[in-house]
């Protein structure tokens, strides 16, 4: 297995896939002093058929959390709709929750929603092009966590039939989780569903048990501070695959994987992407950090199209490494330990 040498600080210029969600049309009746983002949010809420007063409340919430407007502006807005019906106000939490359901676009038009994650299945490669889920700090802190098991199963919800555990037998590849089992340890049912083969992709053992494992561990560490992440993870299927195996040689081993993190509720709203070659590496984790836009360019997937356009542009176009700190000494120690464990296990196979 070759060591990692060239780090993907910039994504290859691969044409963007045209299968992206349409942007929200701007409302012609919006107040002239609203920002572009506020106009798009107003138009979106109007299309939902919401009362004017409730729209004003939601716009005030949006302005406070997403545009940094002063509390005085919000207070004045709320004063203007003081007489809003209480039953309308009760709808607010549910509407905000629905607005935060930011799933990526599917280039395969084959999406499946399980109880704890959603995915877009790529039949051509017998694996998902993406898996999306929400990660909560409270779930990570639970004391009575479910023990990991190894009961891999075909996904009954994939109409064309997902890969089977036996497809990996003697292939030389690990059954690599995309939504990690450790992220689902808060529930027995969540743990079981994480072992559906629709959540699995062929990973080099040294990659799966080394640097990829460390990225999963670090993501959980970050979430314990930020409390909530939207996570999208998957194989890079726009490049020539490493090899095919399994039934009819349909299962494809990707050359790289990506992971995208979106934090809307932490102290600072932020997003970051990672692109990692499917091979052993001990390079610093920061070498693999890229903007979300870079991952979109590489994969052809639009990740957070339901965000207001100005916020989406701000979060996806750049990333700031200092907002994603990690203990480099601990990182190097753990990656070295896991790489050594893998080498030892290979010697006695």
Return the pLDDT at 328: 84
**Percentage above 70 pLDDT, the chain:** 69
Q: Are residues 257 and 284 in the same domain?
A: yes
Q: Are residues 202 and 223 in the same domain?
A: yes
Q: What is the pLDDT of residues 247-264, one digit of tens each?
A: 889 899 999 999 999 998
Asked if pLDDT for residue 96 goes beyond 60, the answer is no
Q: Are residues 221 and 257 in the same domain?
A: yes
Q: Are residues 90 and 135 in the same domain?
A: no
Domain for residue 164, yes or no? yes
Q: Are residues 56 and 165 in the same domain?
A: no
b/e 311-344 (16+ beta carbons within 10 angstroms → b): bbebbbeebeeebbebeeeebeebbeebbeebee
Domain span including residue 306 = 111-347
3-state secondary structure of 235: strand
Q: Are residues 118 and 55 in the same domain?
A: no
Q: What is the pLDDT of residues 120-169, one digit of tens each?
A: 999 999 999 999 999 999 999 998 899 988 789 999 999 888 889 999 99
Q: Are residues 177 and 55 in the same domain?
A: no
Q: Are residues 193 and 86 in the same domain?
A: no
Q: Are residues 59 and 188 in the same domain?
A: no
Q: Are residues 189 and 260 in the same domain?
A: yes
Task: Yes or no: say if 84 and 52 are a contact pair by the CB < 8 Å rule.
Answer: no
Q: What is the pLDDT of residues 176-189, one digit of tens each?
A: 999 999 999 999 99
345 band by pLDDT with thresholds 50, 70 and 90: low
Return the pLDDT at 192: 95
Q: Are residues 116 and 258 in the same domain?
A: yes
Check: pTM over 0.75? Answer yes or no.
no
**4 compared with 115, residue with greater pLDDT:** 115
Q: Are residues 117 and 227 in the same domain?
A: yes
């Amino acid at each position: 297995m070759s060591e990692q040498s060239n780090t993907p600080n910039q994504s290859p210029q691969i044409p963007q896939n045209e299968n992206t969600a349409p942007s929200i049309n701007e409302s012609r009746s919006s107040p002239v002093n609203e920002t572009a983002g506020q106009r798009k949010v107003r138009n979106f809420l109007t299309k939902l058929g919401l009362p004017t007063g409730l729209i004003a409340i939601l716009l005030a919430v949006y302005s406070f959390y997403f545009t940094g407007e002063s509390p005085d502006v919000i207070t004045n807005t709320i004063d203007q709709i003081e007489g809003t019906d209480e039953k309308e106000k009760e709808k607010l939490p549910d509407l905000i929750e629905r607005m935060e359901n930011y799933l990526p676009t599917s280039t395969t038009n084959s999406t499946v929603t399980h109880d704890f994650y959603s995915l877009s299945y790529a039949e051509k490669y017998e694996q998902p092009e993406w898996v999306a889920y929400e990660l909560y700090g409270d779930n990570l802190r639970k004391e009575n966590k479910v023990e990991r098991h190894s009961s891999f199963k075909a996904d009954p919800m994939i109409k064309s039939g997902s890969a089977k555990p036996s497809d990996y037998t003697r292939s030389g590849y690990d059954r690599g989780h995309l939504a990690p089992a450790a992220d689902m340890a808060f529930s027995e049912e969540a743990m079981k569903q994480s072992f559906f083969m629709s959540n699995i992709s062929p990973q080099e053992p040294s990659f799966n048990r080394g640097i990829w494992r460390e990225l999963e561990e670090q993501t959980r560490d970050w979430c314990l501070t930020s409390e909530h992440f939207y996570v999208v993870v998957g194989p890079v299927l726009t490049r020539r695959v490493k090899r095919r195996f399994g039934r009819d040689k349909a299962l494809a081993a990707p050359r790289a994987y990506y992971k995208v993190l979106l934090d809307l509720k932490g102290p600072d709203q932020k997003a970051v992407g990672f692109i990692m070659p499917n091979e052993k590496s001990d390079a610093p984790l920061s070498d693999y950090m890229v903007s979300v836009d870079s991952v979109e360019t590489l994969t052809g997937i639009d990740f957070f199209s339901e965000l207001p356009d100005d916020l989406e542009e701000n979060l996806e176009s750049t990333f700031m490494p200092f907002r994603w700190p990690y203990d480099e000494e601990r990182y190097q120690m753990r990656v070295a330990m896991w790489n050594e464990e893998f080498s030892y296990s290979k010697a006695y196979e």
